Structures are given as C-alpha cells and as structure tokens.
Amino acid sequence: MVPSYDIANSYKNIMEILVDEEIDQQTCAWSLEEAQRINRIEVAAHALNHLPPLYASSQEGVALQYERAQREHQGDITTAVTDALTAVKRIPWKGSTPFDVR
C-alpha cells in the first residue's frame, strides 16, 4: 500500500519512508528494552547513506517513486537497514544533539 504523505517542504526522499518501514519490520519482534537501546535516527541515517535518493514533489510522484523503490531496491533497503542496525548496536550511544526542526 502506497502511503499518503503530506509534502510540507515541497519535496521528499521516498527512501526515508521505505527505510522507516523496514526498521519497523526488522525490529517489531524486539523486546521494549532492546528497541529503546537503538537510536532509530542513527539507523535510518546510516541506511540512507547507502541507498540512492528517490525524490518526489507530488502525491502522484510519491506513489510512483514508492512503487519504483519497492520494485527495484527492496533487497538493497533490507540489507542497508540490517547493516545499519548491526553498526549502531556495536557503537555505544552516548546521546547526540538532534537538529532543531523548524
């Protein structure tokens, strides 16, 4: 199912949506304690750095890029998230200063 997405900034990297979904998929069976030890933002950033961006600027573009990404890149997305989870688990998280989202 293609998600409906509010494109407030006028464009969106659809890989972000698919990476978030894959993180959910790979961690859904984890215990609450294990899930809380992982910084999901770090996992997503690590995975996205290993995937091509797929931008859209309309709801129709979101649908097209979402389907394209699933068709052409799902295996790469799964691997990138698996590798990112492994990498982030190895590095003790000492906290970080998030961006000030405005």
Per-domain residue ranges of the chain: 12-90
What is the DSSP annotation of 39-101? Answer: -HHHHHHHHHTTS---EESSHHHHHHHHHHHHHHHHHHHHHHHHHHHHHHHHSPP--------
For residue 10, the model assigns a pLDDT of 87
Q: What is the pLDDT of residues 32-87, one digit of tens each?
A: 998 888 899 999 999 999 999 999 999 999 999 999 999 999 999 999 999 999 99
Lowest-confidence pick of 5-9, 26-30, 39-43, 55-59? 5-9
